[in-house]
Amino acid sequence: MMTVPAPTTHDVLKALASDVRFEMVRILAHGEHCVCDLEGILLLPQSKVSYHLAALKEAGLVSSEQRGKNSYYRLERGPLYSLGSDLLQALLTPDPVLTQRINSVC
Residue among 69, 64, 19 nearest 44 (CA): 19
Segments of the chain with pLDDT less than 70: 1-2, 97-106
Q: What is the pLDDT of residue 101?
A: 61
Inter-residue contact 56 to 62 (CB < 8 Å): yes
pTM: 0.83
* ∠ Cα 69 19 23 (to 5°): 50
Q: What is the pLDDT of residue 90?
A: 84
- CA distances from residue 9 to 31, 33, 49 in whole angstroms, order as listed: 24, 25, 23
